[in-house]
Amino acid sequence: MKYTEFTGKTVDEAVEKGLKELSLTRETADIRVLEEGKKKLFGAVKARVEIAPKEETVAEETVVAPIVSDGTMSDGERAVVFLEGLFKLLNITACTELVSEGDKVEINVTAANTTAVIGKHGATLDAIQTLAGAVANTGRDDYKRVVVDCENYRENREATLNKLAENLAQKAIRLQKKIQLEPMNPYERRIIHAALSSYEGVKTESEGKEPNRYIVVIPDNLEDPTAPAIPARNERRDSRNERRGGKGGYGNRNGGRSGGYNRGKGGNKSGGYKKFNQGGNNASGGTSLKAGSDFFGIFLGNSGNKNDDKE
């Protein structure tokens, strides 16, 4: 049914206007109320309705027929047709293109809102790919791999994971401890395993059960094999502690405890701000700040680190 929208001060007024214009009665019209008319402090909001002629027969159920090969469409083309219909049902504006079809089917999606297609860490895109793979392999004896990408997301994600794997391998060797990554899907775990397969000094293992299966990076110089793995997300906190010169204070740039702000366990025993070296000729010079003063000190440093886990 094709609906036409009408407005009025009230719902009744909008309905009467629509019925008159469409030459319908309330019995022969299908009416939808979009918005009730109401008065506001300044002005008023009009009532909005949609009206369409009633159909004589209405199907009790809507059945979506499965897409099957009729000999005119290839496996990849069938998957593309399915995805186009899926995006319409999801109200996602997207263009689907069959890039290649050989040993595997490659499909690229261009969307106005890529987040709606990709999802967090590609979760939505993986689900779309699974459905497309099921459609493409309908009626096949041997399984053909289907890859659905959205504006080079998978290539960029793979580069990110490769960099992450290298950073965590370096950290595992440096700390002589096992590093546990967050749960990943099989595709992303394969990327991590492949990235570190030839990396000297570490090995990787998958642990846990789906969907929470994860990778552990194990260094060859492991200090304590019985110690639990360190979560990868702790890397940023560890790097900050290293730059501060220890737990409790900010050290100077050379790693000492005498320069910069000294406080807490890692700094001056008084626990206050001792001094700020402004780079004068006098090594001990600078602005002296007494403990308990109104100066609260702000450390403006680079909280990032090349080895940080960005994921």
In DSSP terms, 149 is beta-bridged to 108
48 backbone dihedrals φ, ψ, rounded to 5°: -130, 130
Local structure of residue 122 (DSSP, 8 states) = G
CA distance 16 to 26: 9
Burial 75-113 (b: 16+ CB within 10 A, else e): bbbbbbebbeebbeeeebebebebeebeeebbbbbebee
Residue 72 in contact with residue 43, Cβ under 8 Å? no
Each residue's pLDDT expressed in tens, for the chain with a length of 311 residues: 688 888 988 888 888 888 888 888 888 888 888 887 776 666 677 888 888 888 753 444 444 444 544 557 899 999 999 999 999 999 899 999 999 998 899 999 999 889 999 998 888 999 999 999 999 999 888 999 999 999 899 999 999 999 999 999 999 999 999 999 999 988 899 999 999 999 999 999 999 998 899 999 999 999 999 999 999 875 445 445 544 444 444 444 444 444 444 444 444 444 444 444 444 444 444 444 444 444 333 333 333 444 444 34
Rg over CA atoms, the chain: 32
User: Domain-by-domain residue ranges, the chain?
Assistant: 4-53, 75-151, 155-235
Fold match flag (75-151 vs 155-235) = no
In angstroms, what CA-CA distances link 18 with 13, 14, 153, 255? 9, 6, 48, 79
CATH 3.90.180.10 for domain 75-151: no
Superfamily (CATH H level) for 155-235: R3H-like domain (3.30.1370.50)
